[in-house]
Structure 1
Amino acid sequence: MPPSSRRITTQSQIKKRSIVLDGHRTSLSIEDEFWNAVRRLARLNSESLSSYVSQIDSQRETGNLSSAIRLEVLKEARAGRLPAFSDE
């Protein structure tokens, strides 16, 4: 099958999430897979989800928080620091 006719068959749900960052409630829209992965990374680092996401937020240079989380998950997965996990 030519690359241009490949279709992604996995459906991913983008959901609106609320989280408290540095004492302020904020919301973001992100796929379940990335949300589960960032929760897993927070646990692996013995941090609360809010604390871990606050670090991601404070280190991002551009873009929105959802994109920054996706990039962090990708970076950690490429570095081998995100072990395989099942849906949570």
Structure 2
Amino acid sequence: MFDLDDAKLEKHSVTIAGHRTSISLEKGFWRHLRAIAEKDNITLNELVRQLDEARGGSLSGAIRAFILQNLEKQLSL
């Protein structure tokens, strides 16, 4: 009935300020994060670094909120 494969958590390592860290996000969020980085012509690590710098709470929550905001902007075009 529903294809919820994108809901599976995936853990990826990224480098922020020279330090490796692991982030767990659902598969769909990783796909959108990579697409946004590619569209903005920056690396995934750089995008995550910028989000890490701007966040007020958890990094994974900041990434999810950023992606949601990005998708909402696209819908309002």
From 17, 21, 24, the counterpart of 1:22: 17
**Aligned partners of 1:49 and 1:65: how far apart in 2?**
14
From 36, 42, 58, the counterpart of 2:31: 36
Structure in which a larger fraction of residues adopt helix: 2
User: Does structure 1 residue 52 correspond to structure 2 residue 47?
Assistant: yes
- Percent of residue pairs bearing the same amino acid type: 33
**Aligned partners of 1:39 and 1:25: how far apart in 2?**
18
Which protein is bigger by CA-based radius of gyration? 1
Count matched residues: 73
Q: TM-score, normalised by structure 2?
A: 0.86
**Aligned partners of 1:36 and 1:21: how far apart in 2?**
19
**Aligned partners of 2:64 and 2:45: how far apart in 1?**
16
* SS of equivalent residue, structure 1 residue 18: strand
Q: TM-score, normalised by structure 1?
A: 0.76
**Aligned partners of 2:62 and 2:33: how far apart in 1?**
11
**Aligned partners of 2:48 and 2:3: how far apart in 1?**
26
Residue ranges of structure 1 left out of the alignment (5+ in a row):
1-7, 82-88
Moved over 3 A (4+): none
Residue ranges of structure 2 left out of the alignment (5+ in a row):
none
* SS of equivalent residue, structure 1 residue 38: helix
